[in-house]
Amino acid sequence: MSRDRGHRRLLIYSHDSFGLGHLRRCRTIAHALVDHRSDLSVLILSGSPIIGSFSFRNRVDFVRIPGVIKLRRGDYTPLSLEIGIDQTLALRASIIRHTAEAFDPDIFLVDKEPLGLRGEVKETLAMLKARGTPLVLGLRDVMDEPASLAAEWKRKRAEPAVNDLYDHLWVYGLPEVCNPLQDIPLPQATVDKIRYTGYLRRSASRAAPAPGSLEPAGEEPYLLVTTGGGGDGAALIDWVLRAYEHDPTIPHRSLLVLGPFMRSTLQGEFMDRVNRLERVEAITFDASIEKLMVDAAGIVAMGGYNTFCEILSFDKPSLMVPRTTPRLEQFIRARRAQQLGLARMLVADDGRSPERMAAMLHELPNQPKPSEVRIPGLLDGLSVISETVDQWLSPAGAHLSLVEQIS
């Protein structure tokens, strides 16, 4: 549906209970769309506690909803407010609905969770659907091991929402690489809604470096080691540090980005170890990490979606060291990337041998680059999304059938 007004509006929801992945993906899409269309404004609903640390383009803004965090046993608790989780979720749902009512978007894009955190977006979806607003569910290339995802969606009652509420499903990848819905028993009408966009191409940020950003010294090449949000990245940082402690002949220095969600005690311990090594530097966080990736000789990462997009976009040899709990998402992506020749994977053994890591760091800069593998459309995600939004927001697009719009 195309509203009869001059300026278009996209509303994006990202639950952001933990980490940086959802926010960074939504921000990338928002920036690409406002760069592509001068008549579009984007509003992001996010629970990220550090969303204010990021810069945003003109015509992109955000509404911060109260944050929650997931406990080890799987329950959620408020991040800051002391009002109970049920009240916090009710408050979040109210803010989401009232924002959608006031903003009146032309398109509503939901990231990953079909009904939002604990169903907090269900009423908003129903309200916007009654208005005729196109509803889009955006999914990364890998969600989890397929059988686990099927069980999760059944538990969360996600399939009825996908089948009955959403008009379109975007998968930010290619089926030749990964198919996140392969074991979900979807009816053909829902399968017809799916559009594989390709991965989301990244570029170095045009914004000024954030305070505390690490500027590489001179022309000496370096390896960039990044954990994303860092909440589950301690094992990777420890393994890389033990490699440098064990083998001072590793030819490239390393820049470690610990991540803003790593526990402060662990950050302090790692900084102490870094200070004893001549060829290792570390920072906690850089909102413009793309700049560090551009100049890196290689990247060591856990295998999250955004980092994988950056590895492909900046054409960097990489070593992916995926976590395997609580989800197999990173492992599945890293294994497939290695099978295709896009990256190498190192799976932790019981001892996390420093010799194994040191050997991989020696070899990393000489690995083949991802561009040596030819996969048509691999990084076309943002272009495909922009073209699709153009179709929907043009006067003619308002009258196209679903099949015509996605064909």
pLDDT of residue 158: 93
Q: Do domains 8-200+379-406 and 222-372 have the same CATH topology?
A: yes
Give the span between the Cα atoms of 205 and 75, in whole angstroms: 36
Torsion angle defined by CA atoms of residues 44, 49, 50 and 54, in that order, rounded to the nearest 10 degrees: 10
Angstrom CA distances, 371 to 105, 205, 368, stand at: 38, 22, 8
Structure-token pair, residue 305:
């979606």
- Let me know if 185 is exposed, middle or buried by CB neighbors in 10 A (0-12, 13-18, 19+): exposed
Contact 320, 345 (CB under 8 A): yes
Burial of 145: CB neighbours in 10 Å, binned 0-12, 13-18, 19+: middle
- For residues 335 and 303, the answer to whether their CB atoms sit within 8 Å is no
Looking at residue 54, the DSSP 8-state letter turns out to be S
pTM, 2 dp: 0.90
- Homologous superfamily of 222-372: Glycogen Phosphorylase B; (3.40.50.2000)
Nearest to 284 by CA among 255, 244, 242: 255
The torsion defined by the Cα of 330, 342, 172 and 40, in degrees rounded to 10, comes to 120
Query: Vertex 341, ends 337 and 343: CA angle to 5°?
Result: 55
Partners of 393 in the β-ladder: none
Rounded Cα distance between 254 and 276, Å, is 13
407 residues of the chain, pLDDT tens digit each: 445 577 999 999 998 766 688 899 999 999 999 999 999 999 999 998 889 888 999 999 999 999 887 766 667 788 888 888 889 999 999 999 999 999 999 999 999 999 999 999 999 999 999 999 999 999 999 998 888 888 889 999 999 999 999 999 999 999 999 999 988 889 999 999 999 999 999 998 644 444 444 555 456 889 999 998 888 899 999 999 999 999 999 999 999 999 998 999 999 999 999 999 999 999 999 888 999 999 999 999 999 999 999 999 999 999 999 998 888 999 999 999 999 999 999 998 767 899 999 999 999 999 999 999 999 999 999 999 999 999 999 865 443 434 444 44
Residue 254: the pLDDT is: 97
CATH placement of domain 8-200+379-406: 3.40.50.2000
Task: Decide: 202 and 310 in contact? Cβ < 8 Å.
Answer: yes
Q: So what's the pLDDT on residue 395? A: 67
- Phi, psi of 399, rounded to the nearest 5 degrees: -110, 5
Q: Quick one: DSSP state of residue 20? A: S
- Identify the pLDDT of residue 231: 86
The alpha helices in 180-263, defined as continuous H runs, are: 188-191, 234-246
Identify the burial level of 229 via C-beta atoms within 10 angstroms of its C-beta, where 0-12 means exposed, 13-18 middle and 19 or more buried: buried
Domain boundaries, the chain: 8-200+379-406, 222-372
pLDDT at 3: 55
In this prediction, residue 398 carries a pLDDT of: 43
The pLDDT, as a whole number, for residue 407 is 42
